[in-house]
């Protein structure tokens, strides 16, 4: 009897795990470079790659060109790439200088902080990336510098109607 109860408990918990892993992204309020306010909830309807970075973060500066290339490669497929700066408001000119030297093919938002990363389950290390499905659910979190395959595997799985092995919910690259 105890063994049967234990087996049923394990089966029940396994059935709950997939639904428990899906988590709506926090509805952060951020601004684009023109000062227009945006919320994460407005991204519903598109697969979205949200990268948190800062000008002072060397791995961030190395990662952004990869994400820009992927943004161009996946252009026209209902995928948005957004790079959100965690630079302090007083350092806004540094963000603009970085962007003038580096042409990035993605939306740029500002106003992120480490508390936002924590609330999204990303820890407190930059860079960090969230990949959201069309419903605004977090599919993958990449803590540290994302690799091509980290982003591509998740995007291909989402574009392929979630067929095959799902991508990992969390990837640590530090």
Give the residue numbers annotated as catalytic, written as ranges. Answer: 57, 60
User: Rounded to the nearest 10 degrees, what angle do helices 148-159 and 58-73 cross at?
Assistant: 30
The tokens describing 49, both together, are 């790659």
Please provide the size of the chain in residues: 174
């Amino acid at each position: 009897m105890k063994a049967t109860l234990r087996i049923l408990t394990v089966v029940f918990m396994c059935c709950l795990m997939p639904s428990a892993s899906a988590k709506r992204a926090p509805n952060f309020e951020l601004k684009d470079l023109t000062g227009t306010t945006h919320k994460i909830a407005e991204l519903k309807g598109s697969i979205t790659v949200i990268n948190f970075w800062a000008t002072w973060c060397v791995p961030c500066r190395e990662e952004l060109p990869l994400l820009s290339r992927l943004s161009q490669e996946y252009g026209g497929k209902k995928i948005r790439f957004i790079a959100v700066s965690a630079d302090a408001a007083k350092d806004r000119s540094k963000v603009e200088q970085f962007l003038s030297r580096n042409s990035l093919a993605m939306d740029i938002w500002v106003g992120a902080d480490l508390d936002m990363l924590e609330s999204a389950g990303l820890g407190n290390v930059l860079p960090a990336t969230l990949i959201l499905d069309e419903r605004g659910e977090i599919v993958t979190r990449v803590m540290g510098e994302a690799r091509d395959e980290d982003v591509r595997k998740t995007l291909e799985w989402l574009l392929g109607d979630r067929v095959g092995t799902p991508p990992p919910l969390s990837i640590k690259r530090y």
